[in-house]
Amino acid sequence: MSYDCYCDGNSPAWTRIAKVKSARKSYRCAECGISILPGQPYEKTIGKWDGDIDVFHTCPLCAELRQWAMISVPCFCWEYGNLHQNVSDMVDAVQHDVPGFDAEWKGRVERIEQARHRAAGRLQGDGGDGAGIAADVIP
C-alpha cells in the first residue's frame, strides 16, 4: 500500500504546541467539545492560519486519537476542529487493507463518547458529584 504525502487543507503559516500539565481555567476541547476543567491535562496549540491567530485546546483522548492516526497512516492529513471527521475519512479509506483497523478506531471513539457522557451526567446531576464543573459539554 502506498500513500502520497500531500495535504490540500489549510496549512498554518506557523504553529506552536505547548503541552500543559494542567488547565488553570475551564476550556472546551476543539475536537470533541468536552469540558477541560481546572487541574485536568490538555494540549494547547497556537497558530496562524490565513493571517488570523487561533488557539486550540485539545483533551488528552483526542490528542491520543490524533497521535494514533498519525502513527497508523504515514501521511495523515487533519485540521484542527475537524479531527474526528478527518480520522473517520482516513479509516474508511484504509480499513479494507488493514484487518482490525476499524475496530480499533471504534474503540477509541467509544472511549471519547463515554468521557463525554460521564461529563454530561455530572453536569445534569445524575452521576458523579459535579465538583468543579464550570462549563457544559456539547451534546
pLDDT at 122: 65
- Architecture (CATH level 2) of domain 14-124: 2-Layer Sandwich (3.30)
pLDDT digits (tens, 9 = 90+) for 65-120: 999 999 988 888 888 999 999 999 999 988 888 888 888 889 999 999 998 888 77
Cα–Cα distance for residue pair 18/34, rounded to 1 Å: 19
Residue the block writes with cell 483533551: 59
What are the residue ranges spanned by the domains of the chain? 14-124
Which DSSP symbol is given to 127?
S
pLDDT at 33: 93
Task: Look at residues 87, 85, 46 and name the one whose alpha carbon lies nearest to residue 64.
Answer: 87
Task: Look at residues 26, 35, 52 and name the one whose alpha carbon lies nearest to residue 136.
Answer: 35
Segment (H or E) for 120 = helix 101-124
Tell me: pLDDT of 129 over 70: no
pLDDT digits (tens, 9 = 90+) for 31-66: 999 999 999 999 999 888 888 899 999 999 999 999
